[in-house]
Amino acid sequence: MIIGTLKEIKNHEYRVGLTPESVHELTAHGHQVLVESGAGEGIGAHDPLYARAGATIVKDAADIFARAEMIVKVKEPQSEERAQLRRGQILYTYLHLAPDPEQTHDLIASGATCIAYETVTDANGGLPLLKPMSQVAGRMAIQAGATALEKAHGGRGVLLGGVPGVLPAKVCVIGGGVVGFNAAQMAAGLGADVTILDRSPEVLERLGIYFEARAKTRFSNRANLAECVEEADLVIGAVLIPGAAAPKLVSADMLKTMKKGAVLVDVAIDQGGCFESSHPTTHDDPTYIVEGIVHYCVANMPGAVARTSTYALNNVTLPHALRIADLGWKEALRQDRHLLNGLNVWDGKITYRAVAEALDLPFAAPEDAIA
C-alpha cells in the first residue's frame, strides 16, 4: 500500500502522523511511505531521518493526496486538505466530527473511508488511541490553568500549591476518566486542594483508593457541581461521551457565581466543550474572559508538547495502521471489531451512530461497509 503523512497545518500543531521509526516498520512490511518535506520538523525528525527509514520525501502535499492510498495524520483535515481527499482513499486520524458539521459534510462529499482514532475501542471498553493524548491533555490542563491563574494573564493571582501560611488553590475536576485522573494527579502533586466529580460509583471508589487524602471525590449531581464550581479557583472540564458532543455541564449563569479571575480549562473542546461559554481557541491566542472568568479552550493542547505526544500516539496507532496496510481496510475491520468502531465515514455515509445523531444525519451501519 502507498501510505502518506503530511505536515500538519492547524495552528501551532507540531505533531506528525508517523515517526521515522513507524515509517521503518511500514516499509519493512513492504509498503511505500510518502512523507511531506518538513513534516517531522516539530518533533526534531528531519527529512534525512525519514529517508534513512525508507520514506520517499515529497515536496508537495497535493502530490501525496494524489498518490497515497492511505493518509495518516494527527488532527482533523483542514478545509484545503479535505478538498483533496478522493473516493475510496483511507483517512486515518483524529476527526471529532460531532461538533463539526462543516468537516463532516466535506468528508461525506469526498467519498473517502475515514477511520477516527478517538472511537477505536479495546476489549476493556476503553479508547486506546485517545488515551495517550488524554493523558497529555490532562497533565497540560494543570500547567495551562496554573499559568492562566497568574495576574498578568487575567487570573486571580493564585499559586496552585500555596505557600506555608497561605492556603493552596481549589481545583475542581469534572470527570474522573483518563483526562480527569491525570489532571488531578498533577494538581495534587503541586499541593492544590483537589476535588474530582464523577457520576460512576466505581470510578469514585477507584479514585478514592488511589488518591486517599490527597484529593477529595464527590458524586456529580447539579448541586455538588454548582457548589464545587462556585468555590474553585481552577475548573478542569474533563468529560467525554465517545464520539458524541460533550454535555454542557457548566452554564453561563454558573459563571456569575464564581470568583473573578478564576479559570476554566475545557479539555472537552474537541467535542464541542462542556462549558456553555466555551469556544475553541488556539495556542496563538489561548484565552478569553467571560463574566470575569478566564477561559482556556485550546483544541489541540498536546500539539504544544509535540515530541512526547507524537511518540505516545504512534505507539498506539501504528499497530492498526500496519493491519490496515497489510490486509486492506475491509479485511482489517472484519477481523477487528474494535477497529471497526473507528469507522466514522464511508462511501458518503456516516457510520458512527453518535455522530449521526449529534448532526441529525442518516446513519449507515458500519457492518454494511465490510459486508
The residue type found at 239 is: V
Alpha carbon distance 223, 219 (integer Å): 10
Q: Which residue in the block uniquely carries the three cell numbers 463532516?
A: 104
From 31, 96, 295, 338, active-site residue: 96
From 193, 198, 266, 270, active-site residue: 270
Alpha carbon distance 130, 195 (integer Å): 24
Kindly provide the residue ranges of all beta strands, DSSP E only, lying in 175-233, ordered along the sequence: 193-198, 216-219
Known active-site residue 270: yes
Alpha carbon distance 198, 136 (integer Å): 20
Known active-site residue 96: yes
Cell of 212: 486517599
Q: Are 184 and 207 in contact (CB under 8 A)?
A: yes
Closest to 294 (Cα-Cα) out of 95, 162, 152, 108: 152
Q: Is 189 exposed, middle or buried (0-12, 13-18, 19+ CB in 10 A)?
A: middle
Q: 370 Cβ partners below 8 Å, 6+ apart? A: 330, 333, 334, 340
- The vertex-15 CA angle with 11 and 18, nearest 5°, equals 140
Most distant pair of Cα atoms in the chain: their distance: 67
Q: Which residue in the block uniquely carries the three cell numbers 457548589?
A: 227
CA distances from 290 to 147, 154, 250, 253, 262 (A): 18, 11, 13, 11, 11
**What DSSP assignment string belongs to 37-57?**
TTTTGGGT--HHHHHHTTPEE
Q: Which residue in the block uniquely carries the three cell numbers 511531506?
A: 36
Catalytic residue IDs: 96, 270
